[in-house]
Amino acid sequence: MNIKTDMTVVTGRGQTSIPAELRKQLHLHKGKRLLWRRLSDSELHLQVLADREPDALAMLGFARRFRKTRTTASWMAELRAGEKK
């Protein structure tokens, strides 16, 4: 393993950049999960987590593309129509 150091700065919003070379080597992309552990007052351990399989809730958003959606007003009108009979 090549030991090379890079320095980044934390922004006012608590954000920092990951150096491009590290992003490429670790195959980091948008949405990649990172696990942070505090080791001491001045050390952190960062672990790149494996991509996880989509769960059922994530699939609901995908399935929304294939079904017609209705407004709340439409649902309420249908429910209230049954009350009038």
Distance between CA atoms of residues 44 and 10, nearest Å: 14
CA neighbours closer than 13 Å in the CB half-sphere of residue 5: 1
pLDDT reading at 81 higher than 60: yes
pLDDT reading at 83 higher than 60: yes
More confident position, 24 or 5 = 24
Give residue-wise pLDDT tens across range 7-62.
999 999 999 999 999 999 999 999 899 999 999 999 999 999 988 776 676 666 66
Using DSSP's 3-state secondary structure scheme, residue 55 falls into coil
Distance between CA atoms of residues 34 and 51, nearest Å: 10
Q: Indicate yes or no: pTM above 0.85.
A: no
The residue extents of the domains of the chain are 20-84
pLDDT band, residue 85 (cuts 50/70/90): low
